[in-house]
């Protein structure tokens, strides 16, 4: 490195001396000889000498510096490639984390109930075969038992809807047994249902009249005849039948083996 720099300095000093000599000669030439008396050979020699000096000077300036200028660029390119690799690797590692957080969330039972009921605000429902284990008024004279599997759905319905329960009974003792069974199950305490919204009648026609007077968005029943009669007046109905669901009797009447199955929690 020291030898190359000293030789470069000697060449530079030589070129400067040569340039000074050329400039001195040209000044003497132009001062003693008019330009018009110079022949073409003299002018061409002077121009060629000047051009040679200029190009030699530029070559000497650029050649020593070029390798030093290119080296930083190579370093920058290597640094950029390494940084790009460093940036891409964390992104690949985060793919698993993103997949974990963006997995579809399973809807809650309350969301399913509201969706199934189409945001309905009032629901009427018979007790026998839907809420109670018993399926006939004669059985209610002996006992009344609330189905444990229906409680969760029933409580969700009371949270978003005005719920009315109704049933045909044969005597006052059956009515008392039903109310006691509902109270024991916690419907009046946890579900927000009041005893005044549990209605009793002595005929099937009486239950039909209850439904039409209340004008619910949904009615749930096990009697296909009542579902058919109410299809013209009620927006939606759910017909609960132990048999395998067949064809729908009306476009607004849905069929399911249980209320829990209809809401997807059976």
Answer yes or no: pTM beyond 0.85.
no
186: left (phi over 0), alpha (psi -120 to 50) or beta: left
Cα radius of gyration (the chain): 50
Helices (H), the chain: 2-32, 40-101, 109-116, 137-140, 151-160, 172-185, 187-190, 204-214, 224-230, 259-262
pLDDT recorded at residue 189: 86
pLDDT score of 161 = 92
The pLDDT of residue 41 is 58
**Number of other CB atoms surrounding residue 51 within 10 Å:** 10
pLDDT of residue 66: 47
Strand order of the β-sheet with 218-221 is 198-201, 162-168, 122-126, 218-221, 236-240, 253-256
Q: Looking at residue 119, what is its pLDDT?
A: 80
Residues 6+ apart with CB under 8 A from 247: none
Under DSSP, the state recorded for 102 is T
Residue 218 and residue 220: Cα distance in Å, rounded? 7
Tokens representing 261? 């199955």
User: What is the structure's pLDDT at 231?
Assistant: 93
Q: What is the pLDDT of residue 228?
A: 92
pLDDT number for residue 127: 97
Structure token digits, residue 149 = 């599997």
Q: Digits of tens for pLDDT over the chain (266 positions)? A: 555 566 667 766 766 776 666 666 555 655 555 555 555 556 666 666 667 666 666 666 655 444 445 555 555 555 555 554 454 455 555 565 555 555 678 889 889 988 999 888 999 999 999 999 999 999 999 999 999 999 999 999 999 899 999 999 999 999 999 999 999 999 998 767 899 999 999 999 999 999 999 999 999 999 999 999 999 999 999 999 987 766 677 899 999 999 999 998 76
Residues near 124 by Cβ (< 8 Å), separated by ≥ 6? Answer: 163, 164, 165, 166, 210, 211, 214, 216, 218, 219, 220
Question: Rounded to whole angstroms, what are the CA distances from 60 to 12, 66, 159?
Answer: 8, 11, 91
Identify whether the C-beta of residue 239 lies closer than 8 Å to the C-beta of residue 224: yes
Phi-psi region of 185 (alpha: psi -120 to 50; beta: other; left: phi over 0): alpha
Dig out the tokens for 206 from the structure.
């009486």
Residue 144 near residue 180 (C-beta atoms within 8 A): yes
Position 249 scores a pLDDT of: 76
pLDDT at 207: 95
């Amino acid at each position: 490195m020291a030898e190359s720099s000293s030789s470069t300095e000697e060449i530079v000093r030589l070129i400067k001396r040569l340039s000074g000599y050329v400039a001195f000669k040209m000044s003497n030439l132009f001062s003693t000889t008019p330009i018009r008396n110079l022949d073409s050979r003299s002018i061409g020699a002077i121009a060629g000498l000047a051009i040679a000096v200029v190009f030699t000077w530029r070559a000497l300036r650029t050649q020593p510096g070029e390798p030093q200028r290119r080296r930083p660029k190579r370093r920058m390119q290597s640094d950029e490639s390494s940084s790009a690799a460093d940036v891409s690797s964390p992104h690949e590692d985060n793919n698993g984390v993103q997949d974990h957080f963006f997995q579809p969330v399973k809807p809650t039972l309350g969301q399913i109930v509201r969706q199934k009921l189409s945001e309905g605000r009032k629901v009427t429902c018979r007790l026998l075969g839907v809420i109670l284990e018993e399926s006939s008024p004669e059985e209610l004279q002996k006992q009344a038992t609330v189905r444990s599997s229906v409680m969760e759905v029933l409580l969700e319905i009371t949270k978003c809807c005005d719920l009315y329960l109704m049933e045909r009974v044969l005597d006052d003792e059956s009515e008392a047994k039903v109310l006691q069974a509902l109270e024991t199950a916690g419907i009046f305490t946890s579900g927000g249902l009041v005893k005044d919204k549990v209605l009793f009648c002595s005929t099937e026609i009486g239950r039909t009249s209850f439904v039409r007077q209340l004008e619910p968005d949904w009615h749930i029943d096990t009697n296909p005849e009542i579902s058919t009669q109410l299809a013209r007046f009620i927006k939606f109905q759910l017909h609960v039948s132990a048999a395998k669901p067949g064809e729908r009797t009306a476009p607004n009447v849905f069929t399911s083996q249980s209320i829990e199955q209809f809401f997807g929690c059976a």
